[in-house]
A and B are shown apart, each in its own frame.
Chain A
């Protein structure tokens, strides 16, 4: 069975500092990994994905994530946080076989303090 863990309910960071939002996953096969951001009362917005290839993937709004197969992790990072990055972040995994569903983590609330 697939599962996703986001070990931190809340992450606080000062504006201008680097941020990391952690994600670990479990799948029986090869994973497809995704990060989404959600602002209040809105749908989820896609940020980036890992399907295959380079372990470091770059996405929207300056975010990037590193796929680490040995640690089964896919942490989201940004070199310099903005107050506007404050939102709810979801990691998701999908097993690399057609028809498998997305499994989402519980979400991490990021607060960037001015």
Chain B
């Protein structure tokens, strides 16, 4: 069966520090991969999506970047965090027309 791992679960980082959040999927091949941010326990904002290795599409210009170095690995990064980067980050995957499956999320607090 397929599983998605996202870590860390919580993270407190100072302003100006770098960020790396990792997401891996097991049990499937060539998934579509997504990074979302959720603010204040409400709506999801799509940040990046990827349909294949090295293929990244950005939905919102911001202080973040994403990379897909392997088929089932998706990394969210920042060189210098801002206070406004705080939020709940969710990784997800799906195949073709199917539903998306989400990781457990990372609560990022920038202080």
Contacts and interface: CB of A to CB of B under 8 A. Distances in A.
Contacts of B49: 101
A34 B99 contact: yes
A46 B107 CA distance: 20
Interface in A69-92: 88, 90, 92
A43 B103 contact: yes
Contact of A107 (B34, B43, B90, B101): B43
A43 B104 contact: yes
A45 interface: yes
A99 B46 contact: no
Interface string B70-101: 00000000000000000010101010111111
Contacts of B98: 49
What class of interface size applies to chain A in its complex with B?
Answer: 20 to 34
A102 B46 contact: yes
B44 A104 contact: yes
B34 A102 contact: yes
B61 interface: no
Nearest to B88: A41
A89 B88 CA distance: 16
A45 B105 CA distance: 12
19 contacts: A32-B97, A40-B41, A41-B88, A41-B105, A42-B105, A43-B6, A43-B102, A43-B103, A43-B105, A44-B92, A88-B41, A90-B44, A94-B97, A98-B96, A98-B97, A102-B100, A104-B44, A106-B42, A107-B42
